[in-house]
Amino acid sequence: MAPVAEEVRVFRRPVFWVAFTVLALACATFAVRNFPRAFSLVEIDLDMDRETALSEARRLAAQLEWGPSDFRQAASFRLDDRARSFVELEAGGADAFTGLLREGPFHPYQWVVRHFRAGEVREVEIRFRPDGAPYGFRERLSDDAPGAALDADDARAIAESHAGSPWNVALDSYALVESSQQEQPQGRIDHTFVYERADVVVGDGRFRLRLVVSGDRFTELTHVLQIPEAFDRRYAEMRSANEGITIGGSFAMLLIYGIGGIGVGLFVLLRQRWVLWRTPLLWGASIACTQLLVGLNSWPLLWMEYDTAVSQTSFALQQVALLGALFLAFTGVFALSFMAAESLSRRAFPHHIQLWRVWSLDAARSWQVLGQTVAGYLIVGVDLAFLVTFYWFVTRYLGWWSPSDALLNPDSLATVFPWLDPIALSLQAGFWEECLFRAVPLAGAALLGNRFGGRRAWITAAFVVQIVIFGAGHAAYATQPSYARLIELIVPSTIFGLLYLRFGLLPAIVMHFAFDAVLFGIPLFVSSAPGAWVDQGIFLLLVLVPVWVVLSARLRGGGWIGVPSALLNRTWRPPEPAAPDGTTAAAPREPLGLPRFPVVAGVAVLGVGLWGYGAVTPSESPPLEVGRGTALDVARAALAERGVDVDDWRELSVVVSGLDQQDRFVWTEAGEERYRALIGEYLSGPRWRVRYARFEGDVAARAEEHIVWVAADGTLGRQEHRLAEDTAGPALSEDAARSLARDALDRFEGVASLREISAESSRRPSRTDWTFTFRDEAVGGLSGGEARVAVQIGGDEVVDTGRSIYLPEEWRRRENQRRATMSVVAVASSTLLGLLLVGGAVAAIVRWTRGQFHLETALTVAGLVLVVSVVQLANDWPSLMNGLDTAQPLLLQVGLFIVGGLIGQGVLAVLVGLLAGHCHVLAHGRFTTRADTRLAVWTGVALGVGFLGGVASVGTLFGRSLPPWSAYGPADAMVPWLTAALGPVPAYLLLTVVAMLVITSVNALTGGWARRRVVGAIALILVGALLAPGPSRDTLASWAVSGLLSGALLLVAYIWVLRSYPALVVLSTAALIVPGVVERGFERAYGGALVGSLVGVAAVAFVAWRWFRLLSRVEADTG
């Protein structure tokens, strides 16, 4: 084949390439030499590597007799980012941070080595400075471990005597500023002493030293840089702008690129048979696999976060399940992005080389591909020079901030393959971001220009949009001002975009990949670790893979050629529609007859009976007798009594009613009677939380808040006054503070039975705070738990008094193991649901392009979901406001919530609508007589009620791990009954479309149960086990029984009825939901609950009936 006439002849001119290479090398040299001038680089004396850290930790553990025995080790090289940001932004800048690294006494860079053993509480964390000097440690002992009960003076003597060797702390430079003691359940007393240096400060930060003695054992020495709360709040306010830009960019990316470019673009091209899907799916899975390998590559570091209460098997399964879910999600996102980018580009830019054939033998050995590949690498030098120049200018002349860096990252060397992460992350960024951020908008704009005219204007507008969205997507980096990366990425985005428009994706991908690889790979090349040259060599080989592909093609092909015209986009033609194969379609199977009415009635009665026996239990929670207005009146009166003018504050309120670990512990370990006795005292029932906060004024002062709790019956409860850290107040002695705390306890009944078990002091800039904890010895029978009361004092004011249940350590660890095990099931369930929703939506779009889609149903269902969701979003305004952070701008938070909520609900509505329109065509069925219709209705209802009763019966086998509790969620809303009424509707629609998708998919898989029956049965049981609702799914055993029963019931329902009458699903799911809605209504947990539930039942019944009537009348040829 002849080369194309438009061959870019400049690629054949040696003068151009020599000049280009010289320029690129000069730029690269300039970037390397001036890199330290543009960025704040710090030098650290990293004389200790990972192996040395592990060895020294073992030596110290043996010398100082730290536990546990037969320990396992993990290590990490860490930087205190918070300390770095504080010093550089408010305590002297980069020079001050460099001085801190050099002189201390606090060292932000530390080696941290952990000694641990699965199943054992006792563990130790040892810290070293980068030069290898021991820097601190913390040994954790079990709460139940025996030990001495020393007084404070004796404990302090032990602490100070051990602060010398090997820690080399000069305590004479420190003064004691805080002390506390905590009595453990077995009588051991743990003492904590905090010292502060007065001779050395860094801005408003203070250098502190924490020493801990547990019993008579020295268990902790930790250096701390005490950073003011005011900085944290100013930093949060500052960072909120970065995060706002990033979230805004993500919203725009989802709407324009995701829904517009990928969704609409692929839909249109599918109808024109212009989409290739196999190759992008393969590439998507391949790049997702590299991200999976990145997760596995960090396996040695994951053990730093391992909870020893969890078995190592459970921990490993957690990580694998999460990585597997991410792999599937990445595969979908990458494949759809690549599919849209390539298909749109092939249609929009005829002069580009076909992307999926760019590495074919004749394309790869062409001058064009050689030039595009080499140019991609050479432009990296130019881009690096721009980056260095840009940051040198803005930091030196505009005062912009970018955090300093040491370039060293020993943790990257602690991975299994140190070269893998920079390669994999660069490949993902280069390939995916260029497809999504460049090809999708620019090719889409070109096609819109072809369709509506003004192609150049459309491309110009899209070019600007892709620059803005790409920059916004990277704005979350810790830089200031917040728009710094938006400005920085204008030039790179322009280069990427121009490369794509002229040559296609190849040079843009190569450049982006190589540029990121250079930056991500820097730690590899500044490392002097043994064997680092091997990792460096592998890294270089992989970075140059595109070059190796081109050279290999040249060697195999025998010479350089111009790219053949057959490999250009203009020569590609969509395949012709497949001709009929002449075979006769198999006759549809005769549908089974509906069950007889007595059988249907028996199933329904049995289901209702089992549900009533297994699930209907009187609620243990009291009703919420007062509404928002009464709660606000009580709160205002309480604050007025304390001299607080509520007009100066924003008033926010929400109902707090959820069960927590304390409820679970008392219910399961102490028994139902004990639980009932503690409700309203040490266990909280439903109550109003009225919050008074400020969102204007000084951000540090806005930390102050008032919170008033109002009980379900309207009585005044706990009152909190959260003071800003720098609020002035006296520094009471321990005895004076204790007396104040005792006075505050006088309002409690049985105050004589309260025994003090801890006293903790906290030194603030202008006051001293105290926390006293008391054990109520009159409350027994808690199986190792304790009823406790905590009194907090800020200066000379009692700012909070709260009750709680102390949970025994052994029980907490068992609970952690249970939750870890069930988290694997939760990930599997979420993954399966996501696959069904996304896979079903893709199938729906494909069928829509073929005319096999019921648009009316799709629009109706999607519109209903969207309208209900938007109304509920507006009705939940009080809950939204209550959760806002006073450290961040109010309008920004509200705006992001509203826009994010609308987009999220919109996406959900589209997904549900697509599934509804898709399944509607497959689930239709006609009933010839009214008697058949009536019997079908009863059959659908009976299936739902029977299923509900079956899964509810499992609850009788395992009992309850939590008390039966009413649902108070709607009470938060402005109109509670409206939320109660609307809430069941989207839940019903989502459950219905998922159930219909499963049934119709199994029908397609098995040909209506004519083939592949084993596969179909397994699919139904798996879906039922992971997705079907049911009680007592909080242990592996209860989940297994409940899940298998759910799957078996779904299989039986399918074989018996649903395979022939999938339309009955809309009635069965309604019957599955309605009983629970009725039960919640008759509990009357809050005002309007009954009315709301009855309206909700009517709404679900109406939607189900109308949908069933439409399904039962639709003709078989609907399209």
Alpha-carbon distance of 132 to 934, in angstroms, equals 81
Residues 6+ apart with CB under 8 A from 637: none
- How far is 989 from 970, CA to CA, in rounded Å? 19
Query: Is pLDDT at 1028 greater than 80 in this prediction?
Result: no
Give 366's strand partners.
561
Q: Which two tokens stand for residue 303?
A: 């053990």
pLDDT for residue 1 is more than 80: no
Kindly list the distances between the CA atom of residue 320 and the CA atoms of 293, 323, 327, 492, 926, in Å, as whole numbers in the listed order: 11, 5, 10, 36, 47
Return the structure tokens found at 82.
């918070």
- Look at residues 470, 443, 431, 493 and name the one whose alpha carbon lies nearest to residue 252: 470
Q: pLDDT-based confidence at 405, cuts 50/70/90?
A: confident
Do 735 and 759 meet the contact criterion of CB atoms below 8 Å apart? Answer: no
**Angle (CA) 876 877 883, round 5°:** 100
- Strands 754-764 and 786-794, by their bridges, are unpaired
Q: Are 140 and 124 in contact (CB under 8 A)?
A: yes
CB 1104 within 8 A of CB 988: yes
- How many of the other CB atoms lie within 10 Å of CB of 629? 9
**Per-residue pLDDT at 1114 exceeds 50:** no
* CB contact at 8 A, 957 and 884: no
> What's the pLDDT band for 1031 if we cut at 50, 70, 90?
low
- The percentage of residues in the chain with a pLDDT greater than 70, rounded to a whole number, is 96
pLDDT at 4: 45
Which pLDDT belongs to residue 960? 82
Nearest in space to 717 (alpha carbons), one of 693, 739, 689, 737: 689
Tell me the per-residue pLDDT of 750-799, one tens digit each, with 9 for 90 and over: 778 899 999 999 999 999 999 999 999 999 999 999 999 999 999 999 99
**Sequential DSSP letters for 709-749:** EEETTS-EEEEEEE--TT-------HHHHHHHHHHHHTTST
Strands 205-214 and 217-226: antiparallel
At 1043, list the tokens. Answer: 């899940």
Where do the H-state alpha helices sit in 883-966?
890-922, 930-952, 955-958
- The answer for 795, left when phi > 0, alpha when psi is -120 to 50, beta otherwise, is left
The band of 928, judged by pLDDT with boundaries at 50, 70 and 90, is low
Of residues 516, 517, 511, the one with CA closest to residue 542: 517
Average pLDDT, the chain: 91
Concatenated DSSP letters of 587-628:
PPPPPPPPPPHHHHHHHHHHHHHHHHHHT----SSPP--S-H
Mean pLDDT value of segment 274-279: 95
**pLDDT given for residue 1039 in this prediction:** 84
pLDDT for 926 beyond 80? no
Classify residue 658 by burial, with Cβ atoms within 10 Å: 0-12, 13-18, 19+. Answer: exposed
Residue 59: phi and psi, rounded to 5, are: -65, -45
Average pLDDT of 1053-1069? 92
The residue among 669, 605, 531 whose CA lies nearest residue 941 is 605
Amino acid 749 reads E
Per-residue pLDDT averaged across 895-910, rounded? 94
- Omega cis (within 30) before 105: yes
Amino acid at 1082: F
Instruction: Kindly give, in sequence order, each residue whose CB lies less than 8 Å from that of residue 557, ignoring residues fewer than 6 positions away.
Output: 361, 362, 365
- Angstrom distance (rounded) from CA 592 to CA 800: 68
pLDDT at 2: 42
**Which residues are bridge partners to 140 per DSSP?**
123
**pLDDT higher than threshold 80 for residue 748:** no
> How many helices and strands in the chain, by DSSP H and E?
39, 16
Q: Which helix (H) or strand (E) holds 140?
A: strand 134-140
Q: Work out the pLDDT band at 585, boundaries 50, 70, 90.
A: very low
Please tell me the distance from the alpha carbon of residue 215 to that of residue 228, in angstroms, as a whole number: 32
Predicted pLDDT of residue 579: 60
Distance CA 187, CA 805 (A): 18
User: Where is 193: in which H helix or E strand?
Assistant: strand 189-202
pLDDT of 575 above 60: yes
Token pair for residue 765? 């800039």
Give the pLDDT score at 1119: 39
What mean pLDDT do residues 365-389 have? 95
Measured distance CA(59)–CA(900) in Å, rounded: 53
Dihedral through CA 456, CA 461, CA 464, CA 470, nearest 10? -110
pLDDT tens string 186-215: 999 999 999 999 899 999 999 999 999 999
Query: What's the token pair of residue 213?
Result: 């003695």
CA pair distance 503, 569, nearest whole angstrom: 12
Indicate the angle between helix axes 809-849 and 1036-1053, nearest 10 degrees.
Answer: 30
pLDDT: is 765 or 748 the higher one?
A: 765
User: Distance between CA atoms of 977 and 1090, rounded to whole angstroms?
Assistant: 8
Q: In whole angstroms, what is the distance from residue 68 CA to residue 439 CA? A: 56
pLDDT over 90 (residue 1118): no
Any idea how long the chain is? 1119
Distance CA 851, CA 840 (A): 16
Q: Residue 580 above 60 pLDDT?
A: no
Spell out the residues 6+ positions from residue 397 whose beta carbon is closer than 8 angstroms to its own. none
Residue located via tokens 């393969």: 282
pLDDT at 812: 95
Residue closest to 763 by CA, chosen among 206, 236, 220, 152 = 206
Give which of 1068, 892, 889 is closest to 996, Cα–Cα. Answer: 1068
> Taking the CB of residue 618, how many other CB atoms lie within 10 A of it?
6
Burial 213-245 (b: 16+ CB within 10 A, else e): bbbebbbbbbbbbbbbbbbbbbbebbbbbbbbb
pLDDT surpasses 90 at 686: yes
0.85 exceeded by the pTM? yes
**Residue type (1 letter), 930:** R
Q: Which of 27-36, 460-469, 1026-1035 has the highest mean pLDDT?
A: 460-469
Q: Do the Cβ atoms of 57 and 126 come closer than 8 Å?
A: yes
Comparing 535-539, 987-991, 1036-1040, 1051-1055, the range with the smallest average pLDDT is 1036-1040
Rounded distance, CA 1023 to CA 1021, Å? 6
- How far apart, in whole angstroms, are the C-alpha atoms of residue 646 and residue 248? 34
In this predicted structure, what is the pLDDT of residue 411?
82
Q: Model confidence over 805-846: pLDDT tens digits?
A: 999 999 999 999 999 999 998 899 899 989 999 999 999 999
- Residue 221's DSSP bridge partners are 137, 211
CA distance 268 to 275: 9
Cα separation, 401 vs 187, whole angstroms: 52
**The pLDDT of residue 572 is above 50:** yes
At 144 the pLDDT is 93
Collapse the DSSP code of 185 into the 3-class scheme (helix H, G, I; strand E, B; otherwise coil) and give the result.
coil
What are the tokens at 568? 């250009």
